[in-house]
Every structure is written in C-alpha cells, then in structure tokens.
C-alpha cells in the first residue's frame, strides 16, 4: 500500500477513463475512491461509467460516490450536444461494457471527500477533472479542509490560450464558474492543468494500435475508446493532430509536478456574463507575496507521454 492516497472527481467520459487507468497504474499512489460529477454526462451515468471502467481494469475494490448533479446556481443540468459528439451518447465512445457488479455508494461524494481529508490529511491528493461544484460544496461545509488536504491538482481553465467553449472559458470551469471562483479564491493551494498544457499532450492512432495488439479485453476497449475520441477531434478540432490527454495529464502532474512548468498567481474566475468562466490573475492580489495557484504554462510532453504509455500499456497487459 502506498502512503499517498488519491481521489478522482470525474464526469466520466473518455479522457476521464484514461485518468482512472493512469491512477490505477501509477505505482506510488492508491486510488481510494471516485466522486462522480456532471459535465460530459449526467452525474449518475458518469458514476456508472466509472464503475464499468474500474471493473474492466480489475479494480472492483475502488468505491464510486455521486457528487452534485448540477451547478451551484441552477436546479438542473442539461448535457451539451457537443459532449455527446466528443464522448459518445454513453460517454465512453459508444463502447459497450457490462453492467458493473458493484453498486454506487450511498454516502454523498462531498461527505466522502471531507471524511477522507480528515483521515489522510497531507497524504491525500484530489484530482478534479470536471466542474468544481463538489469541491466548492465541501469547502462550504468544512472550510478547514482548504489547508488540511495535501494536494489539489485540477484539469480546467485556460490562461495563455483561448477557451474551448468560447474565447474566454474552458468547459469544466464554464459549467460552474461560481464554484470555481470559490475554490480559486479560497486558501486552498491548487495546481491548474489547463488547456495551456493539455492541448500540447496528444495521443494518436499509433499509440492505440499498440494497445489493440495486446489482444486483451482492456487494451481493445481503450483502443476503441480513444479511436472514437480521435475521430471526434478530427471533426471538432481538426487543427489538433490526435486527441488531447486533458484529464490523465492532471493525474500525472499531481504525482510528478515536474511534468509541467508553472506560474504562481493569485487568481479568480469571472462570473460576469460577458466573460463567464475566464480564469485570470486577480489584480487586487497581484502584489501579495504568497500565491495559491500554480498554473501550468509549459509541458514536457514527450516525457509525460512515455510515462503514460508505460503505465497504461502495462496495466492493459494484465486485464
């Protein structure tokens, strides 16, 4: 058992599935639970997808909890059509996996997170790769966890590049800018793995063909998943030669921060209508010597991809 413990907060689509695989394959951390979120899919569908992926990878001991089903300022969530196009109607590239034997946990994801912080403290790493609603709710309920948790590395935001929803906003942050702003302006120390670095970290059919050649259940399923993702990128992001490793890069950076170069900033998230979801430096706090957000601005993509492929290929050989 590793000393480091990890919780993933996922809206389980295709790159979220890759993040689960990376966390399971990494030798220096134990994945102790997954919290479901909304975004790529509806919250319960994402939770079931996470259970299916865990079962595919032989990790039926990892519990999955459901988090919030919509943003702080709404009473429901409507899935965007583009999410279904990129991730498939079922969220996992139209790959059909068996219904999981394990059930979703009855405890709320927010309470699970708070309890885990109390139990593991600085040894706990949280990697949110969807909206930050669950984390904002946890901070509202137990504000002290902001300084008790060891590591929060999120996939979201864009500082030096345009967003992927509009010129300002990245999709995860845009789902709930109010929650993101509560997190970014809290005392919690964060690492932001945004589009600045994830769009430079790409997977191609060269890699998926290696998984397909393993002739294992998980290798074939993940090759199918990612090939679907690549096809969606060819339609929606033709300038990108492959598919971006958004969520698994955040897991990689959480375990090895040297994969990216960061800029320390005090930040906020715009909740104004014109720039909703923009992640930007806070002018009111620019002169403060202490910063609470490390923003990824460059990435050692080759070294990361080598590690990614070593981890996942080794895992797929076994399942």
Active site members: 11, 246
Q: For residues 133 and 35, give the distance between their C-alpha atoms in angstroms, rounded to a whole number.
A: 11
Exposure on the CB side of residue 78, measured as CA atoms within 13 A:
3
275 token code pair: 């720039």
- 145 CB-near residues (< 8 Å, 6+ apart): 113, 114, 117, 118, 138, 139
Q: For residues 186 and 294, give the distance between their C-alpha atoms in angstroms, rounded to a whole number.
A: 14
Name the DSSP class of 48: H
Q: For residues 278 and 272, give the distance between their C-alpha atoms in angstroms, rounded to a whole number.
A: 9
Helix (DSSP H) and strand (DSSP E) numbers for the chain: 13, 12
List strand residue ranges (DSSP E) for the chain, in order.
5-10, 30-36, 64-66, 124-128, 151-155, 190-193, 202-203, 243-244, 260-265, 267-269, 279-281, 293-299
């Amino acid at each position: 058992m590793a000393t480091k413990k990890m919780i993933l907060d996922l809206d389980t689509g295709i790159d979220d599935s890759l993040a689960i695989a990376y966390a399971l394959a990494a030798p220096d951390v134990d994945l102790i639970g997954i919290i479901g979120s909304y975004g790529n899919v509806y919250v319960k569908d994402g939770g079931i997808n996470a259970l299916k992926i865990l079962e595919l990878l032989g990790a039926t001991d990892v519990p999955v909890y459901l988090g919030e089903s919509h943003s702080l300022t709404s009473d429901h969530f409507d899935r965007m059509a583009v999410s279904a196009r990129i991730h498939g109607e079922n969220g996992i590239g139209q790959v059909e996996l068996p219904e999981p034997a394990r059930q979703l946990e009855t405890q709320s994801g927010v309470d699970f997170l708070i309890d885990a912080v109390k139990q593991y403290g600085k040894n706990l790493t949280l990697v949110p790769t969807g909206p930050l609603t669950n984390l904002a709710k946890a901070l509202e309920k137990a504000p002290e966890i902001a300084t008790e948790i060891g590591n929060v590395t999120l996939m979201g935001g864009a500082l030096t590049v345009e967003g992927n929803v509009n010129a300002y906003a990245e999709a995860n942050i845009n789902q709930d800018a109010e929650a993101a702003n509560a997190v970014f302006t809290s005392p919690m120390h964060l690492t932001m793995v945004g589009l600045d670095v994830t769009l430079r970290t790409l997977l191609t059919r060269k890699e998926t063909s290696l998984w397909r050649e393993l002739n294992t259940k998980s290798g074939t399923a993940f090759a199918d998943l990612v090939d679907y993702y690549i096809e969606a990128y060819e339609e929606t992001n033709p300038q990108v030669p492959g598919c971006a490793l958004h969520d698994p890069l955040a897991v990689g950076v959480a375990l090895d921060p040297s994969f990216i170069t960061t800029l320390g900033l005090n930040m906020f998230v715009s909740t104004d209508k014109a720039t909703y979801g923009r992640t930007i430096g806070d002018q009111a706090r620019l002169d403060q010597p202490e910063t609470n957000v490390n923003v990824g601005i460059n990435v050692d993509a080759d070294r990361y991809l080598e590690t990614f492929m070593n981890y996942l290929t080794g895992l797929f050989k076994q399942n």
